[in-house]
Amino acid sequence: MTKPYRDALSLSSKALRYLITLNWLFGAAVLGMLVCTLVAPAWVARALGAGEDPRMLLGMRLIMGIGVAAAPVANVVFSRLLSIVDTVRAGDPFITRNASRLQTIAWAVLALELGRLLVAGIASAVSSPARPIHIDFDLSVTPWLSVLLLFVLARVFEHGARMRDELEGTV
């Protein structure tokens, strides 16, 4: 393997390790905010601009709950991708385990995208002209294409691993 690829893989590995840490910190921060809405709801509602509207506070709690749930799902993406990078660094990426990892990543990305749509729906439901919640509800095709691409790549890796195993069995 040439040096630029090793450097890129090393950088990718470091970036993924940082993202895993940041992701857990994000999840903990959102969980902390959610707990605060249960311990001191009036104070948090005023601080977040929800006023006295119970629907707005409930909507914020639901959105925070989705944010907390998203942290382990995002960790699935980061940790599986890190494992794939490690197999590439070792020089053996076309293994059935990576096909399984890619499929798991695809499901996790799909779950994250559905969660994003759910957050936008909740924000839209509790938002009012007096207290608007500004969360974009754009239906971009890119995340959905990414999910499809990940499922296809999982099949490519699975097929490649099977072909390599068959080739090794004939030699």
| pLDDT tens for each residue of 63-119 | 999 999 999 999 999 999 999 999 999 888 889 999 999 999 999 999 999 999 999
| pLDDT tens for each residue of 113-167 | 999 999 999 998 988 777 777 777 777 899 999 999 999 999 999 998 888 878 8
Mean pLDDT, range 17-36, rounded to an integer: 97
Q: What's the confidence (pLDDT) of residue 66? A: 98
Query: Which is more confident, 25 or 42?
Result: 25
Q: Report percent pLDDT > 90 for the chain.
A: 61
Binned at pLDDT 50, 70 and 90, residue 56 comes out as confident
Domain that holds residue 152: 3-170
Q: What's the confidence (pLDDT) of residue 162? A: 87
Query: Which is more confident, 95 or 28?
Result: 28
Query: Which is more confident, 30 or 9?
Result: 30
Q: What's the confidence (pLDDT) of residue 42? A: 87
Q: What's the confidence (pLDDT) of residue 131? A: 75
What would the 3-class secondary structure string for the chain be?
CCHHHHHHHHHHHHHHHHHHHHHHHHHHHHHHHHHHHHHCHHHHHHHHCCCCCHHHHHHHHHHHHHHHHHHHHHHHHHHHHHHHHHHHHCCCCCCHHHHHHHHHHHHHHHHHHHHHHHHHHHHHHHCCCCCCCCCCCCCCHHHHHHHHHHHHHHHHHHHHHHHHHHHHHHC
Query: Which is more confident, 41 or 53?
Result: 41
Q: What's the confidence (pLDDT) of residue 145? A: 95
pLDDT at 3 over 70: no
The structural domain count of the chain equals 1
